[in-house]
Chain A
Amino acid sequence: MEYKAPLETYTGRVKEVTLGKGAGALKIGGGNILPLHYFEGSTVHRPLVALEVNDNGADRWAEWVVQPYKDVVSDPVKWAKRCLDLGADLICLHLDGTDPQGANRSAAEAAAIVEKVLSEVDVPLIVYGCEDDKKDVEVLTAVAEACKGENLLLGPAVKENYEAVARAVADNGHCVIAQTPIDLNLEKELNVKLLKQLPPERIVIDPLSSALGYGMEYSFTIMERTRQIGVVFGDVAMQMPIIADLGGECWKTNQARADREQGMHWESVTAMSLLLAGADILVLRHPDNCRLLKEAIEGKI
């Protein structure tokens, strides 16, 4: 029997999304291959690794993941700069402080924080609200307006608020995170709706990332199927890049809180799994894992 390498080529292609602007802009997507299948497809933008900065500080973070940022957690600007010093490709700013059930920071204050961070770093910014669908509309609109034309990646836009969030994104020259709760049908439905307001090159899919042991396999399979439906079957409503915001999920598990080493592996194994499933942006908390995952992506391991 003669061996013929079963290489495959696909007609579908992940949309190329540009984040940020000017010299510091970064691109994701663009490829017609399955995740990390660099052996059988055209040149693509490799996945990016972001580190998380939180406007709410890190009071509730496990001590081992606060340690690298200990002296800067009260200042999002310094914190973001630290992340870049430690190797992050870009910054993911979570505005947990705007949560009405928590610190309830106003939309204007939140926008001022984002503007400040943006003015001090030269990488693209990802900005997540507090995941309260009403408050997020106020906050994300204020952020979008204050940073008009800066091409942030803003979200989450969810079933309940996508029209208003997408409008703020479209009117002010940004990209949007389309978030659905680990469900392929809901994911496609939201994408289709958003495509009426924004081109696919301005949308990134967040199918929700669960931590290892806490539903990681569901996130894994939704991402893997999203990529297959987009690339192998060519469905244009499923060809946007994927973001895996997993650091927070991993570090809140008991296993990560119980032991430093275990926490490190919890985050890196979850990240590697979702990278293999198709994530184009990984959002992590620990800088050592940021370096490790970048090495994996760059083929240095």
Chain B
Amino acid sequence: MAIKGTDIVKKLPEGGKKNCRECGLPTCFAFAMKLASGGIAIDKCPYISPEVRIELEDALSPPIKPVTIGAGANILTVGDEQVLYRHEKTFIHQPGMAVLISDDEPAEAVDAKIKKLKELQFHWVGKVLKADMLALRHVSSGRTAFEALIKKVLPVTDCPLMLISDDTEALLDAHRLCADRKPLLYPATAQNLGKIIAAIQNRPAAVAVKAAGVESLVPLTSRLKEAGLEDILLDPGSRNLQSAIRDQTLIRRAALKQVFRPLGYPTVAFPCFMTGDRQREILLASTFIIKYAGIIVLSDIDEHSLLPLLVQRMNIYTDPRIPMSMEEKVYPINNPDASSPVLITTNWALTYFIVSSEIESSKVPSWLCVKEAGGLGVLTAWAAGKFSGDNIAPFIKKCSIESKVNHRRLIIPGKVARIRHELTEALPDWDIIVGPREANEIPSYLPDLVKSWKN
């Protein structure tokens, strides 16, 4: 729970009764309320004491600290989440998806992973989906291979980096090679924390602390915070699915419900270290996408396993309060022109997603008329009298499709073949064509239809 305005006002000068108005607001109470909602900076009050100021800044800071990794244009911010369940309020920062490269991998494998990180991109309903960062891991004896790997990666990608080594000296040397990139260092443990703190105090880095269990993380983050370092991620060490669900849940609850600051940081998860099996690794990653991870490290990526994870991540991080209906209008798909086919469907968001993505994959430039039908699917809308001849006809007349195309052929969903007759009567100048029953038949149906028109 964040601090309330009524609690803040008591801490202001003269117990909140000074009312000097120098902040620009009429009373201290108004200032306190605005401060609580984040609408004004605390230093607008010239009389606040330094101690109260620090106390309020702390109380007003987000319960899960936002942490940024990387420098320049390509950075990753995670954390700053405010809820446990997406229906309460949207999840904010999608977890960063990292690809693990170990320094004992053959050069071709390393090159292939870098290439995949850069080039594997997916277009999905108007968005570009891709993985975010590289995790470089020291496993060879000696440091030569690790340093060589870092030197190889630095010039070829500007992506955020995570450095992993159980040899603290090697980790800190690696950090020196790329401190200007503000990498994430892992692991900081009870054993090496002092060295890490000393090394990063004047060279920026984020730190992922590792401990055996949630509770053991607390002294580590507390020491970092005392040293003024707060770019922290948490690894409670859970390495199987059910303990991971437990730990991720406890950390998120402690941060949000107890405002327990030592656990108020994003987490890092390692499906790559939890299994050697690809199917299991993807299943673990999908669990972490839902269960609160800030960064998820995968042993490798390929187009067929990355796409499902990125789509899941997008699904889970969309705003659930957006109504499930689309605006009534004509949607152009695949750059249609005056001769392109015209299809009609209802405005349920799912219907629209499915139909539009099938048209997209048919590659046929098309116009999709989306008719307001109370946010219902095609059959339900028809049953409710919201998708029938007498209301589709006026929509076709007013939706401007007649000015966009030079033909008068309208494709209706196969599931409402029965409205063809009434629609023909209501739209005498249009030829009504019954399309497929299922949207997934569109990619085979549309190209053939268009070809038959040309002949």
- Residues of A participating in the B interface, judged by any CB pair closer than 8 Å: 1, 3-8, 36-39, 101, 181-182, 210, 212-218, 220-221, 224-225, 228, 252-255, 257, 259, 261-262, 264-266, 268-269, 272-273, 276, 288, 292-293, 295-296, 299, 301
Contact = CB atoms under 8 A, between A and B. Distances in A.
Given A37-B249, A301-B240, A6 B286 contact: no
A1 B222 contact: yes
Interface string B277-304: 0011011101100110000000000111
Contact of A216 (B257, B304, B312): B312
A226 to B, nearest CB: 11
A220 B313 CA distance: 13
B262 A1 contact: yes
B316 A218 contact: no
A3 B214 contact: yes
Nearest to B438: A252
A218 B350 contact: yes
B354 interface: yes
Contacts of B282: 265, 268-269
A264 B242 contact: no
A1 B353 contact: no
Contact of A213 (B249, B315, B377): B315
A189 to B, nearest CB: 15
B263 A3 contact: yes
A39 B215 CA distance: 15
Interface string B247-291: 001100110011011110000000000110001101110110011
A218 B307 CA distance: 19
26 contacts: A1-B261, A1-B262, A6-B257, A37-B246, A39-B242, A182-B324, A213-B311, A213-B315, A213-B353, A214-B357, A216-B315, A217-B315, A218-B350, A261-B304, A262-B308, A265-B282, A265-B305, A269-B312, A272-B286, A272-B287, A292-B283, A293-B283, A295-B280, A296-B241, A299-B241, A299-B242
A273 B313 CA distance: 11
Contact of A6 (B250, B354, B440): B250
A214 B125 CA distance: 11
B214 A5 contact: yes
The secondary-structure label for the interface of chain B is: helix
Contacts, number: 147
B218 A301 contact: no
Contacts of A8: 253
A153 to B, nearest CB: 24
B275 to A, nearest CB: 7
Nearest to A275: B287
Contacts of A210: 350
A217 B311 CA distance: 10
B357 A264 contact: no
Contacts of A38: 242
Contact of A299 (B222, B240, B291, B315): B240
B163 interface: no
A245 B228 CA distance: 51
B147 interface: no
Nearest to A271: B283
Nearest to B319: A217
A255 B261 contact: no
Contact of B280 (A181, A182, A220, A301): A301
B309 interface: yes
A162 B64 CA distance: 46
B307 A255 contact: yes
B240 A269 contact: no
Contacts of A261: 302, 304-305
Contacts of A225: 85, 87
A110 B241 CA distance: 41
A221 B320 contact: yes
A225 B88 CA distance: 10
B159 to A, nearest CB: 24
Contacts of A266: 308
Nearest to A264: B279
Most buried by A among B87, B304, B305, B316: B304
Contacts of B262: 1, 3
B361 interface: yes
A159 to B, nearest CB: 10
